[in-house]
Amino acid sequence: MGGQQTGRGGSEVFQPLAADDPTTVAGYRLAARLGAGGMGKVYLSYTPGGRPVAIKLIRPEFGEDAEFRRRFAQEVRSAQRVQGLFTAPVIDADPEGAQPWLATAYVPGPSLADAVVAHGALPVETVLLLVAGIAEALHVIHGAGIVHRDLKPSNVLLAADGPRVIDFGIAYAADATSLTGSGVTIGTPSFMAPEQAAGRPVTPATDVFALGQVAAYAATGVPAFGEGTGHGVLYRIVHEEPDLGAVPERLTELVTRCLAKEPEDRPTLSEIIRLCQAANAATVLRRPEDWLPGAVSAEIAARAAAPAPPQTPPPPTVAPSAPSAPPVAYSPTAPAVPSAPSTPPPGYGPPPSTVSGVPVGPVAPSGPVAPAPAPAFAYAPTQGPGAPAYPQQPWPGPTGHQPPQPPRQEKKGGGRGLVIALAAVLAFAVAGGATAYVVLKDKDGPASSSAGGKSGGKGSANTGSSGGTGTGTGTGTGTGTGTGTGSSAPKPSTAPAPQAATYKDIDLTAGYHLTLGDENVRPQAGEDNNYELSYDTGGYLDAESSGGNLVLLDPGQEGSLEACRAETRFTQNIYVNKLSPGRQVCITTGTGHLGLLTVKAFSPEDSPSTYMTLDLTVWRNAAPSASSN
């Protein structure tokens, strides 16, 4: 899913905002208009760090359709998992807002449609590179459970390092509305598949047909089934053969196979890439600086160097008399709590006059308020009044803010009762703690004191191990104190380093699991029974065992025992579409074992089973929790 359409020519890259255009969308200050289509308008904005993003604001008519909103929310969740090299990632979205919207990374390049209109058909070498890149993008999109449904030249952007596929999944949400039969066109007839034209179910093969049409258009400059009225084009797509007379010979087999009428007769994405490589042995994006014709590359350079448009006027600093609630950014994280009202930084953040529809005034909270936890993963740039000039929590971005809470009203006479109750509790706690200390001291001396500190919680254990004498807190009895036994620095561990056991070329099939404690680790049937590592048929690796977790290491990060012990970016599952050959995953089991999984390959599309090939290194009883006992 994505959403950016750009004009042709350097001077038309950024269009000024019109009188009926908004100046902000959920905290994003809009700088210019990039284009418009059947689904809505696309605007340019920026993140706090200055990265440009494209904001697609869905037409209000669609927002009034409950089924569209449901499907749109579903597709947004799926699209946020798509992280391919040849897709424009979805950064943020709000399917529930008054007017739904989504934000994607901005690509400073023309669409394939604009490039062909402005500069003519593309060379064969460029088309092969283009098709291979789109096929790789579709592989990632389909892996997230999405069928594009509207792959066409205007939804393929040309960047300096390869194509970018956008707007995946939006057509599915639009199909749910009644607007498609009342003058609103979703999808382009010239690039539909026969099953779409006939109203039959779509599959990933539907996108393969569209890819063949895109390839023919890029190579010839005209659609494979001609132009004209929508009904006429759709009739030819269903009943007639395409006109491929102008398609270069090296592309004929590729295009012909993709345009097969029956979905099962079309090639898989892996076969398409192999056909591209067979047609040109150099069909790999190794030299991105010259994959496009010079005129198109020059246009991309001009767009990248185009000066940023002037910012929209800052929002008012005085609360309006009838405030309206701005849309809330789509974010699963908890909002932070503002401190004191302040003006948000230029080009970012919602108007300071209101927060969630509540006017901001000089009212201050009656007591200290603990901030909400920093976001775990969602990028949610909605920023309310009182936010600092720069994000204070770690990237990926600031979150929205809760409205200031009104002062609490204390009941008359309640303070005296509260003080008395607190005094009684404190006296009881002191008496109980003193009694426990005397009993333990008289019974066992210093050894019992250490035991009492341990049962009291982590306080005495921690102070003891840090080389000092501290007080531990007893469980249930209040503030019992005990002297830690370790008054000096802890002795270095003399335990030998755990031995690594390595298992090569494991083919882990979806629906199977691995048990790291087995002497001979091999896949076993089952994916849902408190297993240590399973490949769920839903398309993700799962750590189910009690106390087990996974950590996906960063690209280029070298996996090791030390790295897996130190990492704390825990998760319970990792979707396979986030993995690629060479990526590594640390595994901690509830039984105390550590493992390092290295992805080697995935099953080909024509394989009757779905599996991944991996290497596994296991350090038994080496997990931090196990080694500290």
Tokens of 267: 């090639």
pLDDT score at 375: 36
pLDDT tens for residues 256-303?
999 999 999 999 999 999 999 888 865 555 655 678 999 999 888 888
- Would you please indicate which residues are annotated as catalytic (active-site) residues? 150
pLDDT tens for residues 128-166?
999 999 999 999 999 888 888 889 999 999 999 999 998
**Rounded Cα distance, 507 and 515, in Å:** 14
CATH no. for 10-305: 1.10.510.10
- Three-state helix/strand/coil letters over 468-534: CCCCCCCCCCCCCCCCCCCCCCCCCCCCCCCCEEEEEEEEEECCEEECCCCCCCCCEECCCCCCCEE
In the block, residue with structure tokens 């830690």:
484
**Rounded Cα distance, 211 and 156, in Å:** 11
Tokens of 18: 């019109």
**Rounded Cα distance, 37 and 43, in Å:** 12
Indicate the range of 437-441, 609-613, 622-626 predicted with least confidence: 437-441
Residue 367 reports pLDDT greater than 50: no
pLDDT tens for residues 97-130?
888 898 888 998 999 999 999 999 999 999 999 9
pLDDT score at 2: 52
pLDDT score at 246: 95
Indicate the range of 104-113, 352-361, 411-420 predicted with least confidence: 352-361
pLDDT tens for residues 539-566?
889 998 888 999 999 887 889 999 999 9
The proportion of the chain whose per-residue pLDDT surpasses 70, expressed as a percent, equals 62
pLDDT score at 527: 85
pLDDT tens for residues 173-218?
555 454 444 444 445 688 999 998 888 889 999 999 999 999 999 9
The DSSP secondary-structure symbol of 355 reads E
Domain parsing of the chain, residue ranges: 10-305, 431-484, 500-627
- Count of CB atoms within 10 A of residue 101's CB? 26
Indicate the range of 99-108, 366-375, 609-618 predicted with least confidence: 366-375
Amino acid occupying residue 229: T
**Rounded Cα distance, 296 and 371, in Å:** 49
Write the DSSP string, 29-42.
EP-EEEEE-SSEEE
Mean pLDDT, range 424-450, rounded to an integer: 44
- Count of CB atoms within 10 A of residue 325's CB? 12
pLDDT tens for residues 478-527?
444 444 444 444 444 445 678 999 999 999 999 999 999 999 999 999 88
Paired residues of 94 in beta bridges: 101
pLDDT tens for residues 568-588?
999 988 988 888 888 999 999
Residue 458 reports pLDDT greater than 50: no
423: helix, strand or coil: helix
pLDDT score at 418: 47
Q: Which of 373, 331, 337 is nearest to 355 (CA)?
A: 337
Q: Rounded to the nearest 5 degrees, what angle is found at the Cα of 236, between the Cα atoms of 234 and 240?
A: 145
pLDDT score at 588: 94
